[in-house]
Structure 1
């Protein structure tokens, strides 16, 4: 759409019902602040200029809203005198002269670009005001959209509605598009002659009509217009977001055995033919290539899993983990900032941190890379086809050559050349009959203690 547009996002509420020390628009949905979801929807609707009306935690809210490709300008609303007053906090930006002004809210994170584009299209077709509404089977509490001959004639609040008007199931979402050339004049005409003494944005419907303007409405899915005022509603929004994204991934070719138990982040990428077992959690920055298998009860964040690789069950991939094709990180393993080469195996009970594992290497159970000296992190390098015996500790910085063999139970503190065998453990000694003597002494001590208590 070639028309210019400014999105005015209202995010200055005090968030008292959230019972939180921070603004509600900073609370995350899919590990992303609510306000960032809203700006993303605006950007996808072709809008690159945002006037962000802020109040509480203004600096943090402004920072969270700054996503790529969108110019965000913050405007402080010092008083809370209604939605009409809030929009006018961005007067300076509106006055620059845009074709369209789109008003939306920072606490409606499920909105998508579809209804926003439809509202802008309504302006392009000659409307001065386009209200975004939604149909619901439970309209109680919402303002009703009253339409006649294709035009919106009023938004009737429930307390003022007749019985017939209360039966209307098309409700006001609060989102609205305004003719940018008339916006300031229309907004200036809103009065506060009501019980609360506030300036209501919904009054623009009757104001525009009284001046001969055309007012229309477009429809949006009810779930997309879900607002957030408290923690219970935040949990519901999270559930709706997860359901929608899981469905999108499954339709794209991802298998989820129990999708309701899989939790995704806003940027999770999963390729076609990947298999996700139950109770898997994806933190931010997870990329799963096609054909990979993520077994149950695994947690993946900031990690890349290549084609045909397998993870878990009960595995944790932390930021910087990069699994090569057909590699394996098995049960009760953790990888942090570690590259696992093609076909390499880290099967169980192992920690790999700040390490590079060569192709085809086999890391035995209980192995740890000792990467931290209490101050600095150090790297471990394990060559291709190397074998690390169970219960080994590799003290970084250290390098294990291609094809090298580390004996089980070793503590390795020096580099091991390619194809070498390394032992790093105490010599085993045998003390005949000593176990029996130790046991008999222990039993005697126990018997003596019991005799004293009797």
Structure 2
């Protein structure tokens, strides 16, 4: 038997604030679209939100509206804050988008991407507690309180006062409970409270936190929920903070990979994407980078200095060292990709091998086939891509060029150094080379002549 959380029955709307100019990023890309683990930071946030099944999502933007509209692709309403007069003013821009909505509103920040679904749910549950607070604030206790606003709260979590750092007294700054900026409010109260917020403060702005003080002044009360993980609410405002967020995310993902049964030889050198999926008994050697869209099945080995993106690695496959798997690479059971081999939009059947210095693009390689060193599939004519099909157990000799579209039959052999532009039948040997010429003594005569000429030039110079 499961017990439903107090907030589960209430409709939910989410307001994501993303109107900051992001000047510290020094980038033409909107701040919340900068990636962590290969995924825009706002998408990390929305993935956690999605587990709560919100009825409405509103993203409040300033500059860069077109970029956010393209990223959201109809998944959220875009509201514009112009001019930007503070966080309270930003939330007010969502009023039209939430017209007629009755339920809970979560206020989040696009540059605070790692708030967990559990923390969001805890805020909503507190909003529906028996004492019915008007506003729930997410607080945290950082190692250094820096310039964060403070939450002055009683022992039972009821908030006595919210104050921004610039407006706080020294006694108030001594409080270690800080305001993350995230809030949960019932929709029917939110915009009424915002309408009563003034801008008589050091910045001359309309602070969102002041809805707590307004609610308290009207005889209501507000509550704080405290997260035990300050990293969860860390904002990302600069390239340095983006790198720090990446490092924290990677550290946790590496630890989880090992908990789940993968061996990382040098964990600190392995870089995962947000959706990397690893099976059990996978071994990952040093300096491996996973881009988005990679799955690795049980028992596979990824050797050192490999880069994988958009690839599916089957059970007991061996990749690398120094291999690159690009989108569409599919390696079936016990196949092998060796050093300095690149695979793109191609399938290697079970037990197939491309061990050395090869490019295999837009190809289908049958089970048990063997591609010799330097084999390439010539898949592009400057305008269109073409496919190469290699049959089961075929053997492609070293330094061969397979000029697509072309089909190599099962059990066929292509001799080393061949440039194959026509289909090869099953069991056939294909040898495509120019006739070798032999000129006895020619090299000796050439060397003698060149040495004499070089000596004459040196003598003339002296």
TM value normalised by structure 2:
0.94
| 1:247 correspondence with 2:255 | yes
Q: What does residue range 37-436 of structure 1 map to in structure 2 within 5 Å?
A: 37-66=44-73, 71-125=75-129, 126-150=132-156, 151-220=158-227, 221-436=229-444
- Whether the aligned pair in 2 keeps the contact of 1:39 and 1:65 (CA below 8 Å) is no
What is the CA distance between 1:426 and its match in structure 2? 1.5
- CA shift digits 1:294-341 (9 cap, x unpaired): 111111111111111111110011111110110001000001111100
For the residues of structure 2 that align with 1:343 and 1:97, how far apart are their CA atoms? 58
Which consecutive residues of structure 1, in runs of 5 or more, have no partner in the other structure?
Answer: none
- CA shift digits 1:194-234 (9 cap, x unpaired): 23321000111111112222211112211111111111111
For the residues of structure 2 that align with 1:64 and 1:267, how far apart are their CA atoms? 18
For the residues of structure 2 that align with 1:452 and 1:133, how far apart are their CA atoms? 87
- CA shift digits 1:127-153 (9 cap, x unpaired): 211111111121121122211141111
- Whether the aligned pair in 2 keeps the contact of 1:36 and 1:66 (CA below 8 Å) is no
- CA shift digits 1:66-90 (9 cap, x unpaired): 59xxx41111112100000000000
TM value normalised by structure 1:
0.96
For the residues of structure 2 that align with 1:333 and 1:445, how far apart are their CA atoms? 44
What SS does the aligned partner of 1:182 have?
Answer: helix
For the residues of structure 2 that align with 1:276 and 1:41, how far apart are their CA atoms? 28
* CA root-mean-square deviation: 1.5
- Whether the aligned pair in 2 keeps the contact of 1:306 and 1:326 (CA below 8 Å) is yes
- Whether the aligned pair in 1 keeps the contact of 2:167 and 2:202 (CA below 8 Å) is no
- Whether the aligned pair in 1 keeps the contact of 2:166 and 2:202 (CA below 8 Å) is no
For the residues of structure 2 that align with 1:188 and 1:49, how far apart are their CA atoms? 22
* Gap change, CA 1:121 and 1:414, over 3 Å in 2: same
- Whether the aligned pair in 1 keeps the contact of 2:139 and 2:178 (CA below 8 Å) is yes
Q: Which moved more, 1:28-37 or 1:5-14?
A: 28-37
- CA shift digits 1:57-110 (9 cap, x unpaired): 21211332359xxx4111111210000000000011333223211101111122
- Whether the aligned pair in 2 keeps the contact of 1:359 and 1:385 (CA below 8 Å) is yes
What SS does the aligned partner of 2:36 have?
Answer: coil
- Whether the aligned pair in 1 keeps the contact of 2:167 and 2:201 (CA below 8 Å) is no
Which consecutive residues of structure 2, in runs of 5 or more, have no partner in the other structure?
Answer: 1-7
1:32 to 24, 36, 39: 39
For the residues of structure 2 that align with 1:416 and 1:326, how far apart are their CA atoms? 26
